[in-house]
Chain A
């Protein structure tokens, strides 16, 4: 199936890709992965435009990784949750539904790219830029999650609770993956790097951002703990 045709079907009628009860994962997976890489890369390119230069390339390379990481890490847990709820769900069906959902979210994010680029091109404040990025990701991500929910088989019990639990597991992995592969926007005075050293976690960063919003500007690095060395001094120049 040509990539353009696949794009149209992912956007217009994702359920038609399931072929009844059949799950053509092997046939569709390469095309869907290509869509995620292309559309996610395009969205990453737009994000990188906030800082410009080599960050264009860095963000374009990393963003598809952030989108695909939950599929690799969280899919077994999500399947186990659905099985426990009594939904007969195979890996092939779940993987295909997740791939279609991620591809759809990536395409929608890419479609929001021009508007985001326009905002970034007028030198938006860093925090406003972050909020715009989060808004775009939430919009695209919600659509992707709804798509995944619609493509899963019916039946089972506590379906809403299971959806929420699966969303929680995948969301936490997505957040930590994004934190791991940061920076994407890059603060105006920060150094551009492909990835930052592994330290602390996404939740400590959220906590620091919350404190900052209330006027307490102690950075998260003030309380960070370097990995694998609990007794060592806090990392130097971590931001």
Chain B
């Protein structure tokens, strides 16, 4: 899929105008996004292997995917709606593209962390800490990639329009709060029945 929207915008005299030449960006394919979600499940399950209980491993599968995807899915409509309401420049497709790239980056990092989690599951009793790291590292990386991508979608200038900056901060705060809320529920689910 090729997304181009810059040509649809007239050049603006101020510094945060969109680029004059069309920007061609390849969007991640649906299977790539799905694989990223699978990778998030894999990294959580790998960390939970340290518990040596199949039930814990199964319950840990959504430990990363649920907060990460949940936060994106629940907040993206609000982001898109407010973005349009505030009359900002980027096309909604570019914002969705930025979010989908963040999901893919999170999945890629999750997949990269699988050997590390397996190593700690096999050589230590640190599986709850490893699971927390398996959720936090890709989650934070996803947030960074999403923020940078959204910013790039809106403007190439160094200083963002204030309205967009406010929107980004609000969206990031809301996403983080939702992700933490889901992560707490996931922690309760994973740790249920685990001997202390």
Contacts and interface: CB of A to CB of B under 8 A. Distances in A.
A84 B108 contact: yes
Given A73-B116, A73-B119, A158-B148, A80 B126 contact: no
The majority secondary structure among interface residues of chain B is helix
Interface residue range, chain B: 20 to 34
A215 interface: no
Given A84-B105, A84-B109, A203-B126, A76 B52 contact: no
Contacts of A202: 124
Contact of A80 (B109, B120, B144): B109
A172 B123 CA distance: 13
B141 A84 contact: yes
A173 B148 contact: no
Interface string A30-69: 0000000000000000000000000000000000000000
Interface in B109-153: 109-116, 119-120, 123-126, 137, 141, 144-145, 148
Contact of A173 (B114, B119, B195): B119
Contacts of B144: 84, 158, 161
Interface string A113-154: 000000000000000000000000000000000000000000
A208 B124 CA distance: 16
Contacts of A21: none
A237 interface: no
A6 interface: no
A79 B119 contact: no
A165 B52 CA distance: 28
B141 A81 contact: yes
A203 to B, nearest CB: 7
A29 interface: no
Point out which of A77, A169, A173 has the most chain B C-beta atoms below 10 A from its C-beta: A77
Nearest to A158: B144
B115 A201 contact: no
Contact of B125 (A157, A165, A201): A201
Contacts of A167: none
A203 B133 CA distance: 15
Contacts of B105: 80, 83-84
A151 to B, nearest CB: 19
A183 B98 CA distance: 48
Contacts of A176: 119-120, 123-124
B195 A201 contact: no
A127 B137 CA distance: 34
Interface string A199-239: 11111000000000000000000000101101100000000
**10 tightest A-B contacts by CB?**
A80-B112, A77-B112, A201-B124, A76-B112, A84-B105, A80-B109, A80-B108, A77-B113, A73-B119, A225-B125
Given A157-B148, A172-B116, A201-B120, 16 more contacts: A73-B115, A74-B116, A76-B111, A76-B113, A76-B115, A77-B115, A80-B105, A81-B112, A81-B141, A84-B106, A84-B108, A84-B145, A161-B144, A176-B120, A200-B125, A227-B125
